[in-house]
Amino acid sequence: MNPFATAAFALFLTAPSFADTPAIESEVFEASGTHEEIAKRGELCIAQLVKNDGLSVKDATNGAGLLGTVAQNPFDPKNDKQLIQAGNVIVASNADTVVANNRLPIQQFLTGRTIIQSVITLFAKDGRFKISHSDVQFAIQNTGYLDNNGFGPLDPKAKLYGKASSALQELSTQIAQCVKQKSDW
């Protein structure tokens, strides 16, 4: 086998995979109630606070990337490249776990609106719970003259990861505050 091809193949096998982005976990929160009561309140709070809206991603390329020809005006609303469907927020729940889909917009200085997507899991035990965000991905809604491929993995070393992590932790805190409130009416 060609030494160059062997080296390229070895590099491919050892290249980092961002599909294994670490989960972003909250602290353990204390709450009154059994694990069933906490999970039920968690499901209601997630349904109230979390969104999984559809979105369209745009660009002006003809699929040839940065050096490709410009096919259209990237800022024309008629030029949606890809429509990403909305979906259910709550995916599954049982006596001590709630799993939900999440899409959260954050504003970036140069790239504009960026959408962070994650799978939220609320783990409940008697008197306490925690929230985890896994499968964290991002999409830039309009990349202008760059090719836009929609959602992709988020590199934990990227600057955006810190901003995304903060936004997801803030969402976890909002969910936790809601779960801690016990309504008696």
38 band by pLDDT with thresholds 50, 70 and 90: very high
Q: Which domains does the chain have, with CATH numbers?
A: 21-180 (3.30.530.80)
Region 119-142: what's the mean pLDDT? 92
The whole-model pTM stands at 0.76
Q: Pick the closest to residue 115 from 104, 107, 124, 101 (CA basis).
A: 104
As beta bridge partners, residue 112 has 108
Asked whether residue 8 carries a pLDDT value surpassing 50, the answer given is no
Burial of 48 (0-12, 13-18, 19+ CB in 10 A): exposed
Asked if 105 and 117 count as a contact pair (C-beta separation under 8 A), the reply is no
Q: Which of the two residues, 148 and 66, has the higher pLDDT score?
A: 148
What do you get for the CA distance between the two ends of the chain, in Å?
Answer: 74
